[in-house]
């Protein structure tokens, strides 16, 4: 993920604007709790898919947390996160539209019977690869992911059934989706 930000500089201009710093995990957790729904809603309005929107927001928040000591923010942390979520959402939309256009061009250039067989084979290969990658996840992470994606359970239902917090469910899902993305990029 690439978000444009200003690195710390020793210029007179950068010294005039204070850095919006995340002092510790409590600050970030407070920001997370107060902003997550709003950020997901913003991403969802752009991409139209709740799971994709959640993934985008989680990617942005992970990026902000990991780069917290390098980012020089000239606006509020919330405004920065909103801008990053919008940018990442539009980028996702742009890539998805480009991919769909390419797929449509390919479909238009091949006979219909060939497309159906090819799509079925591709779908089966993809399903097999996702299954294999899921098997490589840690046990609890696998369990949470399968309940969410295969059994279509909500985070609340999973948390109740496994007797863990919803936050733990979110962390397991974030980890699973991240690992699957990485694994599928190699395919």
We report the CATH number of the domain holding residue 154 as: 1.10.10.10
Whole-number mean pLDDT of the chain?
A: 81
Q: Buried (b) or exposed (e) across 28-61, using 16+ Cβ within 10 A?
A: beebbeebbeebbebbbebbeeeebbbbbbbbbb
Tally of structural domains, the chain: 2
Which among 109, 139, 158 is the end of a domain? 109
Segments forming the whole domain that contains residue 121: 112-187
Q: 59-83 pLDDT, tens per residue?
A: 999 988 888 888 777 888 889 999 9
Predicted local confidence at residue 110, as pLDDT:
63
Which among 52, 78, 109 is the end of a domain? 109
Q: 113-149 pLDDT, tens per residue?
A: 555 777 888 888 888 888 888 888 999 999 998 898 8
Which among 74, 92, 109 is the end of a domain? 109
Cα–Cα distance measured from residue 180 to residue 29, given in angstroms and rounded to the nearest whole number:
25
Q: Comparing 14-18, 124-128, 161-165, which segment has the lowest mean pLDDT? A: 14-18
Domain match, 95 and 151 both: no
């Amino acid at each position: 993920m690439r978000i444009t930000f200003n690195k710390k500089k020793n210029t007179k201009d950068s010294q005039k604007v204070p850095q919006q710093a995340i002092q510790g995990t409590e600050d970030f957790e407070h920001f997370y709790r107060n902003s997550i729904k709003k950020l997901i809603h913003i991403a969802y309005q752009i991409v139209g898919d709740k799971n994709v929107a959640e993934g985008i927001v989680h990617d942005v928040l992970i990026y902000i947390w990991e780069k917290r000591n390098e980012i020089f923010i000239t606006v509020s942390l919330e405004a920065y996160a909103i801008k990053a979520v919008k940018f990442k959402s539009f980028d996702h939309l742009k890539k998805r539209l480009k991919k769909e256009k390419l797929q449509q061009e390919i479909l238009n250039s091949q006979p219909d019977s060939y497309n159906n067989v090819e799509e079925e084979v591709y779908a089966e290969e993809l399903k097999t690869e996702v299954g294999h990658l899921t098997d490589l996840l840690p046990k609890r992470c696998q369990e949470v992911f399968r309940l969410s994606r295969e059994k279509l359970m909500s985070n609340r239902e999973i948390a109740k059934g496994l007797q863990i917090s919803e936050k733990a469910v979110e962390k397991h899902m974030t980890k699973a989706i991240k690992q699957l993305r990485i694994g599928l990029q190699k395919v």
